[in-house]
Amino acid sequence: MKIETLKAREREHILKVLNKTSWDIEKTAHLLQISPSLLRRKIKEHGIQRPQTVPGERDGL
């Protein structure tokens, strides 16, 4: 049985919501019920990087 740490769980949840909102920081922060500045801090803290292509975004638009 694999036990996830709270930090790992938080990272995965943030990534899930970021992808759901196509990396819209304001929307993601709202859904997570935290401030956008705290979200940015957590993104940096967890070493999360925006992918080259964001799920939900269309090329050239």
Query: How do residues 19-39 score in pLDDT, each as one tens digit?
Result: 999 999 999 999 999 999 999
Prediction pTM value: 0.80
Range of the domain at 22: 6-45
What percentage of the chain exceeds 70 in pLDDT? 87
Say how far apart CA 61 and CA 57 lie, in whole Å: 8
Q: At 15, phi and psi to the nearest 5? A: -60, -40
CB-CB neighbours of 3 under 10 Å: 5
21 domain-assigned? yes
1 domain-assigned? no
pLDDT at 54 over 80: no
Continuous H helices in 1-61: 6-20, 25-32, 36-45
Token duo for residue 19 = 């992808």
> How many structural domains is the chain composed of?
1
15 domain-assigned? yes
32 domain-assigned? yes
Say how far apart CA 32 and CA 21 lie, in whole Å: 11
